[in-house]
Amino acid sequence: MKTIKGPALFLAQFAGDEAPFNSWDSITKWAADCGYKGVQVPSWDGRLIDLARAAESKDYCDELKGVAAANGVEVTDLSTHLQGQLVAVHPAYDVAFDGFAAPEVQGNPAARQAWAVDQVKKCISASNNMGIHQMATFSGALAWPFIYPWPQRPAGLVETAFDELAARWKPILDHAEENGVDVCYEIHPGEDLHDGVTYEMFLERTGNHARACMLYDPSHYVLQCLDYLDNIDIYKDVIRMFHVKDAEFNPTGRQGVYSGFQPWVDRAGRFRSLGDGQVDFGAIFSKMAAIDFDGWAVVEWECCLKHPEDGAREGAQFVSDHIIRVTERAFDDFAGGGTDEAANRAMLGIS
């Protein structure tokens, strides 16, 4: 068994224009002060990283890691959630997602998609330059507007969508293979890869690509009423990253999973700060230890009620309290009598 590394913090929800969140030096100092040992970096945020430079220069990557280390944290992973989203966008979401892209490709879906693919590939190269062997991302979505089967979906619609999604990602996954980096899809509503079944549909179409892996986040499973503990048992061989995020689902006679278009604070399903929701993290950390997961426990703070800085500080302690330092010997070793093959055969009555 292996001990999970952590705690780490995903910086996407904290980067901003005010100190200490507006530069790589100051935000890493702040994260360490909160009690974190690692940080996950949003590769789209130019205040924290120059992605094009990181993709080309190992020296620059060493410089970034050096600043972080001097401030007391390690770079755990890079993320391309926003760029990955743009690898596949249904026209219904063109306007909503256009702001994720560089200004020069906004309003041009084809150019935007090509830009997104290049961005994700650059992040894979940058990860390699940093000596990191996994990258977080979203899959994007072509079929999501048809998630509910009314009106009846035409035969082949979903299959065509997943064929196209896999075709778009296959060259990226091949680039990941060349660089020794796992592409970890966050299984997330709004993405075509939003549960285990859809991940399997995609994986099959990539030829069961060895680099098409998972980012495990139980909060998204709580809101879908999916068994998040069984999910670990099923996908333990492909879970490469772990977001520690809490959630709660409290259906009423007025709303359920879809929550009636209500704002986050009024939804039946809500994201919460760690310890304030319903996720059984004791069971999750136990399973992670049992499956030999040796990645990072990364806090992703998203809460509709609590201040983010309070959530961050409390989250560092929460994860520290839940990480299991795995045992190096069995608890009943003291009672071992010692044996050999002859004794084993004798105990079994085998002559």
Residue 280's pLDDT is 98
pLDDT digits (tens, 9 = 90+) for 295-340: 999 999 999 999 999 999 999 999 999 999 988 776 666 567 677 8
Distance CA 54, CA 125 (A): 8
Helix (H) or strand (E) holding 8: strand 5-10
Three-state DSSP class for residue 114: helix
The CA angle 108-146-101, to the nearest 5 degrees, is 25
What is the pTM assigned to this prediction?
0.95
Of the candidates 104, 73, 69, 106, the one whose C-alpha atom is nearest the C-alpha of residue 89 is 106
pLDDT category, 187, cuts 50, 70, 90? Answer: very high
Residue range 14-40: mean pLDDT, rounded:
98
Percent of the chain clearing pLDDT 70 (strictly above): 98
In angstroms, the CA 112 to CA 93 distance is 13
| pLDDT for res 328 | 78
Interatomic CA distance for residues 243 and 148, integer angstroms:
27
Q: What is the pLDDT of residue 346?
A: 84
CB 166 within 8 A of CB 205: yes
pLDDT in tens, 101-153: 999 999 999 999 999 999 999 999 999 999 999 999 999 999 999 999 999 99
Cis before residue 7, ω within 30 degrees of 0?
A: yes
Residues 222-253 pLDDT 10s: 999 999 999 999 999 999 999 999 999 999 99
Averaged pLDDT score across all residues of the chain: 96
Domain ranges of the chain: 5-347
Task: Give me the residue label for tokens 């306007």.
Answer: 95
pLDDT band at 171 (very low <50, low <70, confident <90, very high): very high
10 Å CB burial of residue 297 (0-12, 13-18, 19+) is buried
Q: Which long-range contacts link 333-341 to residues 24+ away (Cβ below 8 Å)? A: none
Helix spans in the chain (H): 24-34, 51-56, 58-70, 81-85, 94-98, 109-130, 157-179, 196-205, 218-222, 228-235, 281-290, 308-322, 341-347
Q: What are the helix and strand counts (H, E) for the chain?
A: 13, 10
In the CATH scheme, what is the homologous superfamily, with its name and number, of domain 5-347?
A: Divalent-metal-dependent TIM barrel enzymes (3.20.20.150)
Give per-residue pLDDT as tens, 42-92: 999 999 999 999 999 999 999 999 999 999 999 999 999 999 999 999 999
DSSP 339: -
Q: List pLDDT tens digits, range 197-220.
A: 999 999 999 999 999 999 999 999
